[in-house]
Homo-oligomer: A and B are copies of this chain.
Amino acid sequence: MQEFTALANTLADEAGNIVRRYYRAPFDVESKADTSPVTIADREVEQRLREIIEKQRPEDGIIGEEFGTKESQNGLTWVLDPIDGTKSFVIGRPTFGTLVALCEEDKPILGIIDQAISKERWTGVKGKQTTFNGQPTKARPCQSVTQACVASTTPDMFKKTGPVYEKFERGSKMMSWGADCYAYGLLASGYCDIVVEASLSPYDFAALIPVVEGAGGKICDWNSDPLTLKSDGQVIALGDATLWDEVSELLK
């Protein structure tokens, strides 16, 4: 596993070097069909990370947001999101992150959330305690939704599911928007309690799973099923798993 962690750290380091070069620099932003901005940095990072993986571990599969899927020949697949939170990146806000995950078949066993500007990195490895910049970190207890700090990225995510977020806004202590992947790191370090999102892709959530679980939290789909590369993109993360019964009612 140590070999994989070392490679994942190399990937995040390389991504950071590129990301910092483009952050707040003037550049063209393309629009994809879903209108999320994709930057030159996004492509350059993914190309670089693919090169490194293909050189060091040619049999591993790769799933990336920009350049599609390379099939795995050994059951291991790297899942890359060069810049999760591209909108934040585009407006110059350091809450985006580079996500690197390694999956065994379709289950993530290693995940990194890296914020290259503030130089914050959460690393989760299956069966181990999550680290924040190399130091062990953990989620905090939270006994009820009324006491919970909730985060999500944008109400726009909930178009297909209906405005489920309104129940969290009404029922929780506070609701904060503009989450991006950064909020899952904050949850893993005990600063927020619930992240509720929808319309995510596997490269958006694969890396989050080992980070949240290794911090003692629960992360799953809205039916409490494990998230896999085949999940539908509805994601709920809880710093304290005992919130689930109450939260599951709000998700209905």
Contact = CB atoms under 8 A, between A and B. Distances in A.
Nearest to A193: B91
Interface in A53-73: none
B178 A178 contact: yes
A86 B177 CA distance: 12
Copies in the complex: 2
Given A94-B94, A95-B93, A177-B178, A191 B153 contact: no
A153 B177 contact: yes
17 contacts: A24-B191, A31-B173, A35-B174, A87-B149, A91-B151, A91-B176, A91-B191, A92-B186, A92-B189, A92-B191, A93-B176, A93-B178, A93-B182, A154-B176, A155-B155, A155-B177, A177-B177
A107 B232 CA distance: 52
A151 B87 CA distance: 10
